[in-house]
């Protein structure tokens, strides 16, 4: 994570000429302007989202004017805010959440500085592995039909895009009813509506909930029905970890067909009524 953030800052904050330091190596003798990248607290969160981390970026400039700090701070925010990046194949998302300090004169380092705070979300839940018939895949297909104007493919998602995104994940299996042909499965799925504009996000959450209530059913990959039993929404939920839409679905899964040996030879005897021989 730290290496990936450093790479982004080096590539996108030209004012510091690649001078991005860890706290253990930073000091009064480092070149200025420069950045110091500090890792803060980490929240383990939910199993599906792995964790969220706090990082701080501190621009240090010579003791001239805080306008230099302002200019570099804008570059840092532009480099990281609402950006998606991968760490060991797992998608992450960075969001600027404000300053970590007021304007500060560092007497020991003879520098001016101000801390910038970023929340880093692990989006491991985007890496869904379907098991057919798959309820997430069924809802993705439903969403493509009903809301083609939204971003629906997690692999192509651009979080800074003004076009809202809609992604589904399995939250829990709440009930299984065994049958002679297989089982009925009841699950809760969560829908994540993501867009920088809160008013647009609220609008689409309402539209999606109403459409689910009207349709109340969709088809899965095996052409069986998946029923929408209950749907609710709360736009106050975190779109990156909780998801604003809660949907209860019910669908059937079939037993694997039993395999019998192939019939290789058949002999018919009219007197004995027939005989079958299998090798």
> Is 278 part of any domain?
no
> Is 269 part of any domain?
no
- Its pTM stands at 0.73
| 237/164 same-domain check | yes
Per-residue pLDDT band at 242 (split at 50, 70, 90): confident
What tokens does 9 get? 């800052």
Q: Per-residue pLDDT averaged across 262-275, rounded?
A: 56
pLDDT for 160 beyond 60: yes
Domain extent, residue 174, equals 128-254
> Is 209 part of any domain?
yes
| 50/13 same-domain check | yes
* Closest by Cα among 189, 179, 173 to 228: 189
DSSP letter at 12? H
The CATH number given to whatever domain includes residue 107 is: 3.30.2000.30
| 185/75 same-domain check | no
> Is 276 part of any domain?
no
CB-facing half-sphere around the CA of 230: CA atoms within 13 A = 7
| 249/233 same-domain check | yes
Q: Contact 82/95 with Cβ under 8 angstroms?
A: yes
> Is 89 part of any domain?
yes
In degrees and rounded to multiples of 5, residue 83 shows phi and psi of: -110, 140
- Following DSSP, what letter does each residue of 44-80 receive, concatenated? ---TTT--EEEEEEEEEEESS-HHHHHHHHHHHHHHH
What average pLDDT does the structure give for the chain? 87
Question: How much is the pLDDT for 263?
Answer: 57
| 139/115 same-domain check | no
* Alpha-carbon distance values, 27 to 23, 35, 36, 239 (Å): 8, 11, 10, 39
> Is 152 part of any domain?
yes
* Alpha-carbon distance values, 10 to 19, 29, 83, 87 (Å): 7, 19, 15, 17
> Is 100 part of any domain?
yes
| 209/94 same-domain check | no
| 105/188 same-domain check | no
Domain stop point among 92, 124, 156: 124
Q: Which helix or strand (DSSP H or E) is residue 8 part of? A: helix 2-12
Q: Please write the tens of the pLDDT for every residue from 105-157.
A: 999 999 999 999 999 988 887 788 888 999 999 999 999 999 999 988 877 77
* Closest by Cα among 68, 65, 63, 71 to 107: 63
| 64/96 same-domain check | yes
Q: Per-residue pLDDT averaged across 62-75, rounded?
A: 96
| 68/103 same-domain check | yes
pLDDT for 184 beyond 60: yes
Q: Per-residue pLDDT averaged across 14-26, rounded?
A: 95
* Alpha-carbon distance values, 164 to 18, 179, 208, 276 (Å): 34, 40, 12, 65
β-pairing verdict for 116-122 and 83-87 = unpaired
| 36/102 same-domain check | yes
| 53/116 same-domain check | yes
Domain stop point among 71, 97, 124: 124
> Is 51 part of any domain?
yes
Length of the chain: 279
CB-count burial class (<10 Å; 0-12, 13-18, 19+) for 35: buried
The CATH number given to whatever domain includes residue 236 is: 3.30.2000.10
Question: Could you give the number of structural domains in the chain?
Answer: 2
Range in 1-15, 16-30, 43-57 with the lowest mean pLDDT:
43-57
Contacts for 110 with CB less than 8 Å, ≥ 6 apart: 28, 62, 63
DSSP letter at 236? T
| 146/237 same-domain check | yes
* Closest by Cα among 197, 57, 54, 170 to 121: 54
Per-residue pLDDT band at 47 (split at 50, 70, 90): very low
Question: How much is the pLDDT for 48?
Answer: 42
């Amino acid at each position: 994570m730290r290496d990936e953030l450093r790479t982004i800052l080096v590539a996108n904050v030209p004012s510091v000429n690649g001078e991005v330091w860890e706290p253990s190596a930073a000091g009064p003798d480092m070149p200025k302007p420069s950045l110091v990248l500090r890792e803060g607290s980490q929240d383990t969160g939910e199993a599906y989202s792995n964790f969220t981390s706090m990082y701080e970026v501190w621009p240090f400039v010579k003791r001239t004017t805080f306008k230099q700090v302002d200019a570099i701070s804008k570059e840092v925010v532009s480099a990281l805010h609402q950006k998606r990046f991968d760490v060991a194949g797992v998608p992450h998302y960075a969001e600027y959440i404000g300053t970590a300090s007021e304007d500060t004169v560092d007497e020991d380092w003879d520098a001016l500085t101000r801390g910038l705070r970023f929340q880093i979300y692990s989006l491991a839940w985007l890496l869904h592995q379907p098991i057919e018939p798959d309820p997430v895949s069924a809802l993705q297909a439903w969403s493509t039909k009903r809301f083609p104007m939204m971003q629906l493919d997690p692999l192509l998602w651009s979080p800074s895009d003004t076009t809202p995104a809609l992604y589904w994940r399995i939250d829990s299996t709440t009930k299984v009813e065994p049958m002679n042909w297989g089982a009925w499965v009841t699950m809760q799925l969560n829908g994540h509506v993501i867009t920088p504009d809160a008013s647009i996000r609220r609008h689409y959450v309402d539209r999606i909930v109403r459409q689910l209530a009207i349709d109340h059913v969709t088809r899965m990959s095996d052409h069986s029905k998946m029923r929408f039993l209950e749907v609710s929404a709360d736009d106050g939920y975190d779109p990156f970890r909780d998801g604003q839409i809660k949907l209860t679905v019910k669908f059937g899964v079939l037993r694997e067909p039993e395999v019998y040996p192939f019939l290789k030879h058949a002999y018919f005897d009219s007197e004995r009524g027939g005989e079958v021989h299998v090798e």
